[in-house]
Structure 1
Amino acid sequence: MENILTFLGNIAWWGWLIVVLAIIFIYDIFQKKHTILHNYPIVGHIRYMLESIGPEIRQYLVANNREELPFNRIERGWIYASSKNENNYEGFGTDRDIYDSNYIFVKNAMMPYRVDKKHPNHKDPYFLACAKVMGEGRRKRPFRPASVINVSAMSFGSLSARAVASLNIGCKLSHAYHNTGEGGLSPYHKQGGDVVFHFGTGYFGVRDNDGNFSMEMMKELTKNNPQVRAVEVKLSQGAKPGKGGVLPGSKITPEIAEIRNVPIGKDVLSPPTHSAFSGVDGLIDFVEDIAENTGLPVGIKAAIGKLEDWEALASKMAATGKGPDFITVDGGEGGTGAAPPSFADHVALPWIYGFSAIYQIFKKYNLTERVVFIGSGKLGFPARAVMAFSMGVDCINVAREAMMSIGCIQAKLCHTNACPSGVATQSKWKQRGIDVDAKSIRTHYYFKNFRKELLEMTHAAGYEHPSQFTMDDVEMATSDKEMINDLSSIFKYNKKPVLFNGISSLQNCEHLGGGYSIKTEKKVVKEALKEDNVRY
């Protein structure tokens, strides 16, 4: 009897399966949306399933260690290991094709720079402040970044609340600054780290009810938040220059609406151009007005394309003594939460070409000592940072590299609000996977280990600080008849020497940010050295 019931049960199971497949078959035949399903009913679904998991298959099973873009597996692995304070070395030798075009070679010195027992980096191998001061001699509250690597512009809204909080606390621990991105100053940016307040054409956080820039709101924001050390005006960004953003109404929570001063439930459009000023003269006046009303250094951020307005800006800055205190140059390879492929792929120059063009213009007008140059666009690796410093940058900002330090897996779903790691989504459930205490420590270690390795490469080249690199210290494979050339030969200029009086002078600077204190830092560094048995 039991065998008969089992047999009938099996028949019922298979019967239901046949019915379901028949329904799918009939639906596929008569639906008109997908040709593949019409021509290959049932089987066609397998094709769509494989296509949906294709990126994961390529990322984990198919692509080799150096193949993926924008960051390959070796690069991601270095960031993950550094942020976890684990062994970030590699064995047996490089697996890079060192004869490949655009390969970077850093010239080492016969005798490396000696760090004796009296040198600040002997006691604190992580200390590496900016060699220049933003707004020195021009603003009421000048600012020397206490770290040469900092968090680039990423807004609350683009990133989750827990991601922003993790980055800010990580900045506090590593004495870096945290750029807010153009979503306004959120509570998650107020966890103790230095802040650069950034805004774009939407003026979020400093916009009135009509969507216009409000100087009164700017004054109030900087007055009530002393951790804001500088203000950055976004003209454009590398991934989508000349295109405004769209914040869908479905993503605007009551919290985001309050921070950005926008209505709940309505799409918010950021126009491609600023309404608060027009032209180069208007930009200079706008920068000076903000600096006068806040006392803070004010800079601009832009991706680089046409150079006529940059020439005009430098000329007028030289003639008037006015204008931005710092300039952030973003590369066309920079990241974004969402951008049309045509913009991300083709609009704006890559960082190395854009920055070299801008630096030469400002050098011609003798402005390189006055302006602090910040590089942004896949520079969060020590060798690329050496290249950038040799070309004239004073600091670098990192975005996606910082995201990886708190768990980003390069799923490339930022534009869908479905980020699986909880970093670039407003999903409360997915955000819960981010432990703020743990992830902030990882940001802290990524920045500290980055600075330490950058210092080691600097010392290997015979220098004390990366600001001392010149374009003759770095060569690049060019695949031409001469095979490799130093950067000064490739880009036809050399940077002007940075006025640098030693690491000790940076530690003792009254404008040094990041809450850095030699006395309190000694204990922190001592504990860090105890924890790290791999590198010390």
Structure 2
Amino acid sequence: MQEVLDFLANIPWWAWILIILLIIAIGDIFFNKKHTIKHNFPIVGHLRYALESIGPELRQYIVANNREELPFNRRERGWIYASAKNVNNYEGFGTDQDIFSTHYIFINNALLPYKLPNGHPNIKNSGLIPSAKVMGAWNKRKRPYRPASIINISAMSYGSLSARAIESLNEGCKLSGAYHNTGEGGLSPYHQKGADVVFQIGTGYFGVRDQDGNFSMEKLVKLVQENPQVRAIELKLSQGAKPGKGGVLPAAKISKEISEIRGVPMGKDVVSPPYHSTFDDVEGMVEFVEKMAQATGLPVGIKSAVGQLKDWEKLAKIMQEKDHGPDFISIDGGEGGTGAAPPSFADHVSLPWIYAFTDIYKIFQRYKLTERIVFVAAGKLGFPAKAAMAFALGADIINVAREAMMSVGCIQAQSCHTNTCPTGVATQNKWLQSGINVKDKAMRTNFYFVKFRKELLQISHACGYEHPCQFRTDDVDINLSDKNLAKTLATTFSYHKDEVNFASVQQLLDCPHLGGNLNLEHMRQTEDAID
């Protein structure tokens, strides 16, 4: 035995490498029945698969240029990261954008910008922009709600995101005055750190379901009464990533905590159907919205991706005839979001936000309903210039999901559906989550929101307006693919948005229904830190 050990010890290192490679080659040639490349090209084939596995990282950090990546390019991610970290988010030497590309937008500035009068609230808080509209005002809900921020966090459930990520976002919303949409996974303890909450109800009725999985009005009323931070209810009809497709929560992912939050049994797969069991048609949906609003006193809205328009036309007609219906409508772009979806859905089903929103806005404009509805826009709009475009088309509020995730550390690894998110944002892996410092990430969310609003307000002032709601459809040009390269949004989409009833920012702040639990002193401290 000692002689064998001595013999092995005397084998040079390079010979060991050759022996290992020979063993791998023999295994590839004689035993590999699954991979043709490895069988035909032993050893070298392994290099091919290794490069394929790190291909996204190679393209993201080495190959792709600053404006090339999707869904968010390096410049966009860099602006979010810099804003969230409260460092310089400017760029020099001019734009590196292809300003003649299709769908490129130009915002038409005024000859003389808006000048803040003495004592204006935005002098001390340049990142303070409440919503110009009140949710539930028209329908006379018992607890109307004016969001204190025009940018808020879109629906992301605890389960799809980690506990620490949700907690960071909620605390960041509290600091900045924004609201936090729970997603359809129920109201978790991590959504309850002080921010206003919009409670979303999906087809699984998680958190407000009975033992048979049916919707329970009793549980919804109890939830609202016990959690006064819940300021509105959103009924999710579909989402941009996979409209009309249900989902399955595997039994293996249902912890005791998730079971209690969602009201589902452990040890059994939970199916979210593509449709609601509580109603069968548009009229039934409107009545369901009204019942929830009457029972809770809260504004109730709907969220949907957009494809066929006939049911939207029917909805507008019912609302006009019955004089009630959703208090707000969230239009989700078909660009997709944090939710995992088959490529066929994510790539092709439902319209991108700009087409979806303009189609829907025109329908409600024809029925003279735009004044009573708060339009919420979601679809890669978490950048000031894109938000200005959205407001020009008629949006009242911007919801962000992936952009908010980036503010707490997401690096666009695109592994949200694998439970292996390297930053701990979209995983339930305890070790990966442990790297998230909640206090630090909450402040980053705060800085992102404040800097976003500040820059959007600067764009608004440059165009001669006090508030983004005053943007008109003629204030933005968009490049098209014909000889008349750039046209206004009004010309492109064949409508002018209706004027929003707005007097002043101070009037919005004086509203008794203003949410956000605004701490203006803290916001001034944030302002000082930014300056």
Instruction: State the TM bucket, normalised to the shorter chain.
Output: over 0.9
Whole-Å separation in 1 of the counterparts to 2:121 and 2:529: 20
Structure 1 match to 2:405 = 403
What amino acid maps onto 1:37 in structure 2? K
**Deviating more after overlay: 168-177 vs 5-14:** 5-14
- Pair 529,316 (structure 1): closer, same or farther in 2 beyond 3 Å: closer
Matches within 5 A, 1:402-481: 402-481=404-483
Whole-Å separation in 1 of the counterparts to 2:444 and 2:175: 10
> Deviation of residue 14 (structure 1)?
5.1
Structure 1 match to 2:496 = 494
Structure 1 gap ranges (5+)? none
Matches within 5 A, 1:41-440: 41-137=42-138, 138-440=140-442
Structure 1 match to 2:522 = 524
Task: Deviation per CA, 1:343-372: give whole Å up to 9, x if none.
Answer: 000000010000000000001111101000
Whole-Å separation in 1 of the counterparts to 2:332 and 2:524: 36
User: Conserved in 2, the CA contact under 8 Å of 1:406 and 1:439?
Assistant: yes
What RMSD in Å do the two structures reach over aligned CA positions?
1.4
**Deviating more after overlay: 19-28 vs 61-70:** 19-28
User: Conserved in 1, the CA contact under 8 Å of 2:114 and 2:463?
Assistant: yes
User: Conserved in 2, the CA contact under 8 Å of 1:130 and 1:148?
Assistant: yes
Whole-Å separation in 2 of the counterparts to 1:420 and 1:276: 39
> Deviation of residue 438 (structure 1)?
0.3
- Pair 525,180 (structure 1): closer, same or farther in 2 beyond 3 Å: closer
Whole-Å separation in 1 of the counterparts to 2:126 and 2:179: 19
User: Conserved in 1, the CA contact under 8 Å of 2:176 and 2:523?
Assistant: no
> Deviation of residue 432 (structure 1)?
0.3
What amino acid maps onto 1:246 in structure 2? V
User: Conserved in 2, the CA contact under 8 Å of 1:376 and 1:396?
Assistant: yes
What percentage of residue pairs aligned between the two structures are identical?
65
Residue 23 of structure 2 aligns to a residue whose secondary structure is: helix
User: Conserved in 1, the CA contact under 8 Å of 2:66 and 2:73?
Assistant: yes
Structure 2 gap ranges (5+)? none
User: Conserved in 1, the CA contact under 8 Å of 2:165 and 2:408?
Assistant: yes
Residue 416 of structure 1 aligns to a residue whose secondary structure is: coil
> Deviation of residue 268 (structure 1)?
1.6
> Deviation of residue 31 (structure 1)?
1.8
TM-score, scaled to structure 2: 0.97
What amino acid maps onto 2:352 in structure 1? P
Whole-Å separation in 1 of the counterparts to 2:8 and 2:141: 87
> Deviation of residue 16 (structure 1)?
4.7
Residue 472 of structure 1 aligns to a residue whose secondary structure is: helix
- 2:27 aligned with 1:27, yes or no? yes
TM-score, scaled to structure 1: 0.96
Task: Deviation per CA, 1:227-279: give whole Å up to 9, x if none.
Answer: 00000000000110000112222221111111111122322211111001110
Whole-Å separation in 1 of the counterparts to 2:501 and 2:205: 36
- Pair 443,10 (structure 1): closer, same or farther in 2 beyond 3 Å: farther
What amino acid maps onto 1:424 in structure 2? A
> Deviation of residue 19 (structure 1)?
4.2
> Deviation of residue 207 (structure 1)?
1.1
> Deviation of residue 27 (structure 1)?
2.1
User: Conserved in 2, the CA contact under 8 Å of 1:334 and 1:376?
Assistant: no
Whole-Å separation in 1 of the counterparts to 2:199 and 2:478: 36
The number of residues matched between the two structures is: 525
Whole-Å separation in 2 of the counterparts to 1:254 and 1:42: 46
What amino acid maps onto 1:23 in structure 2? I
User: Conserved in 2, the CA contact under 8 Å of 1:373 and 1:392?
Assistant: yes
User: Conserved in 1, the CA contact under 8 Å of 2:242 and 2:336?
Assistant: no
Residue 291 of structure 1 aligns to a residue whose secondary structure is: helix
Whole-Å separation in 2 of the counterparts to 1:87 and 1:183: 37
